């Protein structure tokens, strides 16, 4: 309810851009004070994103995700145009050009002017989304950080904090991170095992990770998210192939 009041007030005083900004501010207030509400403001089904107890509408999921994106983009103290373009391309792929353009106007405001509370946003999403969705969020955030050609320590720290707020384990975070930071141990980290693991443990870990990251788990989501799931799945397969060749399995 607050989000629509904010949109109306913003529209009256600042026009279209004010209406969008008012909606975002109202949404954050809704999330903070009324996050027990399971109704959908748009009338659309939110089941694909939600748990059995609480749900999130596609619109709210989208805006909360954009807020997390803004945190990563601003983590190193500057706003990279290549990182902004990466987010824009992702949303165009997921939602189409028209909707993505409207959303991105809001995103520009969020990135440049708003202070976002990651812990509150993640608590909201954790209550309302499946684990595989939250894994994909962190994978996407690493993609943003890498878009300008390098991932700073401050960006890694922010993503690590967000992953923790989203209820992901340290092993899951390191697995996703290893998909972007290649070194001698990357293949093992992707499979969430130590380099000292036995051949049998390697095979078991591969089966578990292939199941965990199988693209079918995100078939209910838009194309961009499914593409991200396929990328993670390929990384798991490549990691297993690397270990097989290294050990002669």
pLDDT tens by residue, 203-243: 999 999 988 888 776 666 656 556 777 888 899 999 999 99
Least confident of 3-12, 34-43, 156-165: 34-43
pLDDT score of 213: 83
Distance CA 12, CA 245 (A): 64
pLDDT band at 197 (very low <50, low <70, confident <90, very high): very high
Within 10 A of 231 (CB to CB), how many other CB atoms are there? 15
Distance CA 168, CA 77 (A): 26
CB 142 within 8 A of CB 151: yes
pLDDT band at 154 (very low <50, low <70, confident <90, very high): very high
Average pLDDT over residues 158-186: 94
pLDDT score of 36: 40
pLDDT score of 79: 78
CB 70 within 8 A of CB 107: yes
């Amino acid at each position: 309810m607050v989000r629509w009041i904010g949109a109306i007030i913003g529209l009256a005083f600042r026009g279209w851009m004010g209406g969008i900004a008012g909606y975002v501010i109202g949404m954050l207030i809704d999330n903070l004070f009324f996050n027990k509400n399971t109704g959908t403001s748009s009338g659309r089904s939110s089941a694909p994103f939600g748990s059995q107890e609480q749900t999130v509408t596609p619109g709210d999921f989208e805006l909360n995700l954009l807020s997390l994106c803004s945190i990563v983009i601003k983590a190193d103290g500057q706003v990279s145009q290549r990182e902004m373009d990466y987010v824009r391309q992702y949303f165009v792929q997921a939602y189409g050009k028209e909707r993505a353009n409207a959303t991105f106007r809001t995103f520009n405001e969020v990135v440049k002017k708003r202070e976002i509370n990651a812990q509150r946003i993640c608590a909201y999403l954790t209550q309302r989304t499946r684990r595989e969705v939250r894994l994909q969020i962190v994978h996407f955030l690493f993609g943003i950080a890498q878009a300008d050609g390098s991932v700073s320590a401050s960006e890694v720290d922010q993503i690590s904090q967000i992953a923790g707020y989203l209820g992901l384990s340290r092993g899951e975070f390191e697995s996703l991170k290893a998909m972007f930071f290649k070194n001698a141990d990357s293949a093992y980290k992707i499979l969430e095992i130590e380099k000292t693991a036995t051949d049998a443990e390697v095979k078991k870990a591969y089966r578990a990770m292939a199941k965990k990251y199988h693209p079918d788990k995100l078939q209910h989501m838009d194309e961009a998210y499914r593409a991200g799931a396929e990328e993670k799945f390929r990384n798991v397969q490549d990691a297993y192939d690397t270990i097989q060749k290294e050990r002669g399995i």
